[in-house]
């Protein structure tokens, strides 16, 4: 139980523990100037497959559980979905809100 509590605390304080948060701004793409094309295309393919499996159409509300900095919610909103972003870390959600991906 004590280990689980420590794990949850670490998750909640993830942003505070990061030395550099710039990677949160570029997710799902790797930070920096060089991008790993295999990683990036894999992330896009996974997203595409996921969207194609959503049984309801554009305009539906999608729960983004474990949303982190909300990049997935941003992409879904750009496709016309409404999203509800949830994460154990308020700091991560705050970062997503601050980033204002969709305005």
User: What's the rounded Cα separation, in Å, for the pair 101 and 103?
Assistant: 6
Rounded-to-integer distance, Cα 52 and Cα 72, Å: 14
Residue 86 has pLDDT above 60, yes or no: yes
Counted domains in the chain: 1
Q: Average pLDDT of 85-93?
A: 88
**Do 17 and 10 meet the contact criterion of CB atoms below 8 Å apart?**
yes
pLDDT at 2 over 60: no
pLDDT digits (tens, 9 = 90+) for 10-23: 667 777 777 777 77
Instruction: For the chain, give percent helix, strand, coil, nearest 5.
Output: 50, 10, 40
Residues 54/60, Cβ–Cβ less than 8 Å: yes
Whichever domain contains 84, its CATH number is 3.40.50.150
Note the pTM of the prediction, 2 decimals: 0.70
Contacts (Cβ under 8 Å, ≥6 apart) of 13? 89, 91
Query: Which residues constitute the domain of residue 36?
Result: 2-99
Contacts of 25 (CB under 8 A, 6+ apart): 31, 69, 99
Closest by CA position to 85, among listed 76, 77, 93: 93
């Amino acid at each position: 139980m004590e280990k689980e509590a420590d794990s949850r605390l670490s998750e909640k304080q993830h942003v505070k523990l990061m030395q550099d948060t710039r990677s949160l701004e570029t997710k799902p793409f790797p930070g920096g100037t060089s991008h790993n094309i295999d990683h990036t295309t894999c992330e896009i393919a996974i997203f595409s497959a996921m969207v194609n499996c959503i049984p309801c159409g554009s305009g539906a509300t999608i729960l983004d559980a474990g949303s982190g900095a909300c990049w997935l919610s941003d992409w879904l909103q750009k496709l016309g979905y409404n999203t509800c972003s949830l994460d154990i870390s308020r700091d991560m959600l705050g970062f997503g809100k601050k980033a204002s991906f969709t305005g």
